[in-house]
Amino acid sequence: MTVSGACECGAVAYAIKDGPLHVYACHCLNCQTRSGSAFAEHAMVQDDAFDCVGSVVEFRRAADGMQFTEVFCQECHTRLYNRNSMLPGMVFLRAGTLQCSQQLGPMAHIWTSRKQAWVTLPDGIPTFEHSPSPEEFGVAVAAALERSAR
């Protein structure tokens, strides 16, 4: 199954081939500030399953000891995805740019120690006060896959 998405103006489009979408919500202050919202919703996909077409601009930055490359539509400046030095080979999509975004729910919430007080998290979804370790995140992914198989 191919999942697709695009920027607001449609000048940049992408497709994800044959891979599960691991959507999570990040409540850290950086995501709140950079998104202008209470949290940011991301979808992790393997780089080799991701294909993007259209004119983009990149912004490179460093934070928390990591290097980030953020990718925006050159026309409307929608932030589409980023890559980071901690997890090479992964693309972190802005989940709201997916055509199916309204049908997705986060399989985990991270940095809940920074979440807005008015945000209520659903029962049964893993939460992490800070960034989970790769092993902890793997357990959350496995639990999400198990829930979707039911």
pTM for the complete prediction?
0.86
Q: Does the pLDDT value for residue 81 go beyond 90?
A: yes
H helices of the chain, in order, are 29-35, 134-149
Structural domain that includes position 120 = 2-149
CATH code of the domain containing 18? 3.90.1590.10
Per-residue pLDDT of 122-148, as tens digits, reads 998 999 999 888 888 888 888 887 777
Domain count, the chain: 1
Please, which pLDDT band fits residue 19 given cuts at 50, 70 and 90? low
Sheet with 40-46, side-by-side order of all strands: 56-63, 66-73, 79-84, 90-94, 40-46, 22-26, 108-110
